[in-house]
A and B are shown apart, each in its own frame.
Chain A
Amino acid sequence: MSASRILIVDDELSVRHSLAEWFREDGFQVETAEDGAAALRAMDRGPYQIVLLDLKMPGMDGIEVQTRIREIDPGATVIILTAYASVETAVHALKLGAFDYVTKPVDPDDLANLVRNALQSRALAEENVRLRERVAELTQATPILAESPRMVHVLEMVRTVAETDSSVVIRGESGTGKELLARAIHAQSPRRYFPLVAVNAGSIPESLLESELFGHEKGAFTGAQYRRKGKIELASGGTLFLDEIGDISPKTQIDLLRVLESHRFTRLGGNQEIASDFRLVCATHRNLERLVEEGHFREDLFYRINVFSIEVPPLRERPEDILPLARHFIEQYARAMGKPALRLSPDAEAALLGCRWSGNVRELENAVERAMVVGKGPLLEARDLPVAGRNGAEAEPAARSLSALEKEHIGRVLGACDGNITRAAKVLDIDRATLYNKLKRYGLRR
């Protein structure tokens, strides 16, 4: 690690000299300047992590030098050093962004601590910037490919609503990537540094959904041995993604409406009101207007959540996206499997474009994953795809047991991964122990 650089600005030669020696002994790279003009010239040769700046100097005074230094390098930590202490100048310097203010002569222990704190504070600030960049990178990690005009329009809407705090309903068939869009909204919103908490209302029994959303106190019901925070509480500051909102019961609809109106709720079995500042993004594959007409969905809740509505078109209505998505998944699985990315042969492209994709993008992804396992390359052929020749019909033999299919699939994946258990487990999305158990059960060898 390179030494931190420090610039000492003081009109007294003895101060510059003694401080320079003191900091050199501490391993700093030190430069000195006798006045403001020399300091600014030195700053051009920067950067310096720390500038020790005398407040009273002939010509340009310390306050003015500090202002000019911040113009040159806003990241430099300025510590004011002066023999003329006054509260007014200290406050003024601090308001202008100085890290701290010490009077000469300073206790060596105080100066050492001050510089140490300044460097730590600077390191934390830099780490914070790096982490924020990393968060932005990670939250944008799943790209949403859109070449079709309809999906381009969807992404424009996502960008527009992301900046607001309004509730959003994302509608579309299963597998169209509604959760991906919800994550994109969160990632582009000012709430992105707080969590996105996802709840799939369709997959949780009604009896558990209330506890999942609102949390519970210890002893709230049989089995509630501990206090547990609900998803609404956990989403505070961030976004609550409620998938399959069309499936929630009338009772939970009322509770949810109440939370959306007041942003306050109580845990099950509790009597203390808890505030949660969250943004709601919902998704559904159902027709909410019809559910309202039929009396299955509360009209007031519908209007509360339906501030923005985004319709994700099914894949069959945007064929322009099929091949770019397929190529994206090929690259993704090639990386995961440690294989070279295969190119699509013309007949494979035709097969992909000819398929109805009733399972939408999810089905396409699964088809590509399977093809990457069985494909021997360098071209991914139509015969490698489970869609070849079916165009809506099932390609797999219907009369085979689930375990037989699982055994065959594991064998294929393991072969494609050259017997590497870790890689195969990653592709299969199971842990290594589970894969070992399955290999043993099916009598498969690495």
Chain B
Amino acid sequence: MAAPIHVAFVGDRTPVWADALVSSLADCFPGPVRASTVAADLAPCFVPDRDQHHATLVLATLLRWRPDPAAKVLGIVTVDLFIPVLTFVFGLAQLDGFGAVVSTFRLRSEYYGLPPDEGRLVDRAIKESVHELGHAFGLVHCNLVACVMHASTSVDEVDVKGSGFCERCEAAVRAGRRR
């Protein structure tokens, strides 16, 4: 039985693109996908010096909402995330583990001084969600730009890469093996 995926939207409501995300995840991963809102308190994860949230702590917080021991949790947050050595991260995952988190903070065009672009935000959020969950399913970065597991350290790279797995990454996910 493939691991179920629980998408946890942190806040009091789900975004309008929640169904599109769930549908895309269901296409990419073998297990059932469920979504809900989670009223997690991320205040303890906030680091005033950096004016950002510590991604590792946010992920640890979200893992407490795991509905069953076999489930994988994907948290969607709107706050800006960092890990200590990097200025920011779009997301974080436990490699071959249970949790992943994606921040929409730097996926919004407004962050870069551009007009709001909901379509682009949805596209980016889906790509980063599949990418981080891919890590939780044991995938490492892929050299193919067309593959969603291609590393992206800027929003331009998120836009350029593909939205689905390449053949090898998809096969690895379906077979439940690390790549």
Contact = CB atoms under 8 A, between A and B. Distances in A.
Interface of A: 10, 12, 14-15, 17-19, 21-22, 24-27, 81, 104-109, 111-112
Interface residues of B, number: 21
Contacts of A111: 86, 153
A105 B87 CA distance: 5
A105 B141 contact: no
Contacts of A26: 140-141, 151
A104 B84 contact: yes
B87 A25 contact: no
B86 to A, nearest CB: 5
Contact of B141 (A14, A27, A106): A27
B56 interface: yes
A92 to B, nearest CB: 22
B83 interface: yes
Contacts of A27: 140-141
Interface string B67-105: 000000000000000111111110011110000000000
B140 A106 contact: no
Nearest to B140: A27
Interface of B: 50, 55-56, 82-89, 92-95, 135, 140-141, 151, 153-154
Given A17-B56, A21-B95, A112-B153, A105 B85 contact: yes
Contacts of A107: 86-87, 153
A116 to B, nearest CB: 10
29 contacts: A12-B84, A14-B83, A15-B85, A18-B55, A18-B86, A21-B92, A22-B83, A22-B85, A24-B95, A25-B95, A25-B135, A25-B141, A25-B151, A27-B140, A81-B85, A104-B84, A104-B85, A105-B50, A105-B82, A105-B85, A106-B85, A106-B86, A106-B87, A107-B87, A108-B87, A108-B153, A109-B153, A111-B153, A112-B153
A112 B153 CA distance: 8
A342 to B, nearest CB: 52
Contacts of B56: 14, 17-18
Given A105-B86, A108-B89, 16 more contacts: A10-B85, A17-B56, A19-B83, A21-B83, A21-B92, A22-B86, A24-B95, A25-B140, A27-B141, A106-B85, A106-B86, A107-B86, A107-B153, A109-B153, A111-B86, A112-B151
A70 to B, nearest CB: 23
Contacts of A108: 86-89, 153
B102 to A, nearest CB: 14
A321 B33 CA distance: 82
A18 B87 contact: no
Contacts of A109: 153-154
Nearest to A108: B153
A105 B84 contact: yes
B86, B135, B141: residue with the most chain A Cβ atoms closer than 10 Å:
B86
A12 B153 CA distance: 23
A121 B82 CA distance: 29
A17 B55 CA distance: 12
Contacts of B94: 21
Contacts of B87: 105-108
Contacts of A18: 55-56, 83-86
Contacts of B140: 24-27
A296 B102 CA distance: 87
Contacts of B92: 21
A26 B87 CA distance: 18
B5 to A, nearest CB: 19
Contacts of A17: 56
A10 B141 CA distance: 24
- Across the A-B interface, give the 6 residue pairs with the lowest CB-CB distance, nearest first: A18-B83, A109-B153, A27-B140, A108-B153, A14-B84, A105-B87
A28 to B, nearest CB: 8
Contacts of B141: 25-27
B120 to A, nearest CB: 19
Nearest to A21: B95
A117 to B, nearest CB: 14
A22 B84 CA distance: 11
Contacts of B154: 109
A55 to B, nearest CB: 13
Contacts of A12: 84
Contacts of B85: 10, 15, 18-19, 22, 81, 104-106
A406 to B, nearest CB: 55
Contacts of A105: 50, 82, 84-87
A170 to B, nearest CB: 53
B84 A15 contact: yes
B112 to A, nearest CB: 14
